[in-house]
Structure formats: C-alpha cells, structure tokens
Amino acid sequence: MAKAQQLKALLQSHMEGDEARFYAIAMQIAAHEAKVGHGALATELRALIDEAKRREKRTPAKGPVPIVQPRGELSSLLSASFPKVRLADMVLPQSVEDRLSRILKEQRQLAKLRTHALHPRRKLLLLGPPGTGKTMCASALAGELDLPLFVIRLDGIITKYLGETAAKLRLVFDAIAQTRGVYLFDEFDSIGTQRAFPNEVGEIRRVLNSFLQFIDQDDSDSLILAATNHPEILDYALYRRFDDVISFALPDHERIVDTLRAKLAAFRKEGIDWASLAREAEGLSYAEVTRACEGAVKDMIIHDLPALEQPLLSRAIQERKSIPSSTCTSA
C-alpha cells in the first residue's frame, strides 16, 4: 500500500491544484505497488492516471467560478473583469519579471505557505510613468491566477462620495475579504496627495487613515494592488503596508525592439530595421509604442498593402511622438 507520506502529498497537491505534482505522485505510487509485487493494482492505477490526463486535455481549462458582477452600492465602486492577459504578453526588465514570477509562485503555493503560518506576498505597490504596464500587470496577475480583476478608481470614490469615502472603502475591503480576486486601486495617489483637493484636506487624511487601517487588518487571500504615477507624493506611511514595491519604467532600446516585434508578430513584414525604429521611438512609453504599431497596421489594412514596411512604421512612430505623452495612458 502507498505510504502515508505519499497519500498526504497526493491530497495536498490536489488541494493546491498542482496537477503536475499530483500525477507525479500518483505515478510514484503505481511504481511502488509494481515493485512490491502488486502488478495488477499498478496497471490499474496507471490506466486511471492515463485516462485522467486524457480527460483533462479534452475539457477546457478550469476558469474562475464566474462570480456575479458587483451589485448595489459596490457596482459603482468596483468594475470587474476576467482578463486573459499573461505575464509572457508583457515586455519587462528581467528584475521586474523575476519579482512578478516570485509573487505568482507564492500565490500558487498559498495553501502550503499557510500551513506553515506564512503569508504569500499579495499587497503590492506599483509605481511608474503612464503607459508602462501597471494596469496590464494587474491583468496579467489575474489572468495567470485565474482570478477576477476588480478595479477601484479612488479618485472617483473620493470626488463622488466626498464625506463618506471611508464608509465606501469599508465596502470595498469587505468585498476583498469575501471574494478572492486581484483588487487594483488605480490612481492611488489621490489619497496620498493633499494638493488635488486643497479644501478637503481633512477628508483626504481621514480616507488615508481608513485605508491604512483596512489594509493592515486585511488577512484575506486576495491580492491588493495600488498603482500610481506619482510616487513622490505618496505618504511615507503607505510604503511599509505593502509586501513589495514594484517600479515600472519607460522601455529602453532593447525593450522597444521587443515591444515592436511582439505587437507586430502576427503581420507580414518586409525589410524592417528594428534597431533604427527603436532609436526613433526612444522616449515613448510601452503604451505609445503599442499605439504606433496599431496605427501602422491600420494604415496597412486601409491601403490594402501586402506587408508592413519601414516607412509606414516610422511614420506611425513620428506621429505618436508629436502627441503629448499625457494623452496616451491606459487602454
């Protein structure tokens, strides 16, 4: 018979949804049974494993249980979606990619970490200029973990519910505790700054204090992300509430090339000098490079051209460069 350790590991891998490990342990048990002379049982176990693998291939990947859209008051505070974006869709510096992979690893081993009274990293502060991938990163984490993404526009809450923002925040944190998901507090600086609402300093301070209290108390399995373009005006007390602070930046030469190549991968191209295009695009954000690519592709389609050519892309980049960058933010 299988050893108690093996049975425990089998159940644990099932609980954690770690299919590869589950099958590996099941195969180990079959091998063990064969070794101790239980040939028929071993054959039966192997057949069951093969059948389970076949079925898994036939059935579509398990998605998140589609939770209902936020209702009532919550619906005006949160917007929900189920992103399909993956980390591999993003072009990132290696250091950022490593940190995000680490977060995913910890999240995927959540149950295991919890049994050792450890907590996975899940409160993240995302900093960086517009169009560098903060919102996309929230989508990618949700997509990778098969979780819904809820976006909370803090500036909206503060202006719309002046005087009752703290009560609204409580509703949001109740949802965070009830429904596991990725919760993105966008435009997070609106509670860190006092400049935007010079007459409402008291209210902003109250909101900030409530936020600090809620995030401290939160012991849920949700990921809480806060994104801002203005790290310099964030209250210092906020920083230490987060398990990780991730900085996004404009793409360097190499990453512009990667972005151009990735965004144009599906199209026929002729005689493209990527390095020269990347030099022209220097200073643009990932979002702006993406828009330039989309512009060139649209031109190609509109003019019935058989492939993308250098001048078309070059023109699209120049056009993008002539637009003030603040106009090209989140998609």
Residues in the site for ligand ATP, rule: CB under 6 A?
Answer: 90-92, 128, 130-136, 229, 248, 259, 286-287, 290, 329-331
Residue 131 binding partner per list ligand ATP, Mg ion, none, with a CB distance cut-off of 5 to 8 Å that depends on partner kind: ligand ATP
Tell the smallest beta-carbon distance from residue 285 to ligand ATP (Å): 7
Residue 210 binding partner per list Mg ion, ligand ATP, none, with a CB distance cut-off of 5 to 8 Å that depends on partner kind: none
Answer for the pair 122, 107: CB distance below 8 angstroms, yes or no.
yes
Specify the residue, 134 or 168, whose C-beta has the smaller distance to ligand ATP. 134
Answer for the pair 223, 141: CB distance below 8 angstroms, yes or no.
yes
Residue 90 phi, psi (nearest 5)? -100, 145
Cβ atoms within 10 Å, residue 22? 20
Answer for the pair 203, 162: CB distance below 8 angstroms, yes or no.
yes
Q: Does 285 bind Mg ion (CB under 5 A)?
A: no
Instruction: Measure the CA angle with vertex 77, ends 76 and 80; round to 5°.
Output: 90
Tell the smallest beta-carbon distance from residue 277 to ligand ATP (Å): 16
Tell the smallest beta-carbon distance from residue 184 to Mg ion (Å): 8
Tell the smallest beta-carbon distance from residue 35 to ligand ATP (Å): 50
Distance of CA 104 to the CA centre of its chain: 9
Residue 254 phi, psi (nearest 5)? -60, -40
Q: Does 135 bind Mg ion (CB under 5 A)?
A: yes
- Residue 208 amino acid letter: L
Residue 192 binding partner per list Mg ion, ligand ATP, none, with a CB distance cut-off of 5 to 8 Å that depends on partner kind: none
Tell the smallest beta-carbon distance from residue 227 to Mg ion (Å): 6
Q: Does 229 bind Mg ion (CB under 5 A)?
A: no
Distance, CA of 300 to CA of 303 (rounded, Å): 5
State the residues that interact with Mg ion by CB under 5 A: 134-135, 330
